[in-house]
Structure 1
């Protein structure tokens, strides 16, 4: 019986910690004001370029990589810096690729007027591209017809 209460207590503490950390994250948003660097490579830290050509995708439905720095970008529940260039109202004027129509479909398949909540935080899937060496060696090769 003692183990049951211990497990239940740990579960509630873990749930509370997760809830509080999520609330703190949502309130503060994601702040990318620090200089973006990739560390842990064989050559040391690698700075991401401000603008570069888009890298080829490696497999079907791969989220495109970001060909520019996201230094200073704010993405939180109130604002999304990415949409200022890639949103449907702005992409023509900025010349940026338009956000995919799939980003307007909610988890139940309903088409929304705005970006679906599960697609709003762009940097969950899209990451800045860099030519940094892999931190961990791997044998990945792109799908046929993709990559290089």
Structure 2
């Protein structure tokens, strides 16, 4: 039991440290977190998020699909989830949006629920809008074989 508590405390400490380090990296690279992502001009460092675009190829197995449209102003709170107004099981047929995955209705134990599982309710934790932004930090990532462009 004690090892579980220590493991949990270590995980929480490492998560907090990762958040602090990532914030420092963003600050060092001059990322303005207050900048609206709906920038249409061409100033250096601006990000263009089109209203709608083709879905991008996935880069690895089980990658959450990226969002091919702007989510500026979308509300995703404990009471409202704007994403489900188009992607929910009651609406996707009339909106033409992809249906939410059945995996989003399973709890941590694999039990199927009648509504979206709480751990899958906040879509923007995993699904991010596509953009033409350059990487914040240079890297050598390449998609898994058979994925990506």
Query: What residue is the counterpart of 1:69 in the other structure?
Result: 70
Alignment of 1:1-148 (within 5 A): 35-36=36-37, 43-148=44-149
Cα distance in 2 between the residues matched to 1:137 and 1:37:
23
1:58, CA displacement in angstroms? 0.2
- Cα shift at 1:35: 3.6
SS in 1 for 2:75: strand
Query: Number of residues paired by the alignment?
Result: 113
For the residues of structure 1 that align with 2:110 and 2:137, how far apart are their CA atoms? 37
Equivalent residue number for residue 16 of structure 1:
none
Structure 2 portions without partners, runs of 5+: 1-34
The Cα of 1:37 is off from its aligned counterpart by 5.2
Conserved 8 A contact 1:66-1:129: yes
C-alpha distance after superposition, 1:43-79 (max 9, x if no partner)? 3111211110100000000000000000110000101
Question: Could you state the TM-score of these two structures normalised by the residue count of structure 1?
Answer: 0.72
Partner SS state of residue 73, structure 1: coil
1:65–1:127 CA contact under 8 A, matched in 2: yes
Deviations 1:94-119 (A, max 9, x none): 00000000000001111000000000
Q: Give the 4+ runs in structure 1 shifted more than 6 A.
A: none
Do the aligned residues in 1 keep the contact of 2:87 with 2:99 (CA within 8 Å)? yes
SS at match of 2:46: strand
Q: Which has the higher strand share?
A: 1
Q: Does the aligned pair in 1 maintain the 2:107–2:119 contact within 8 Å?
A: yes
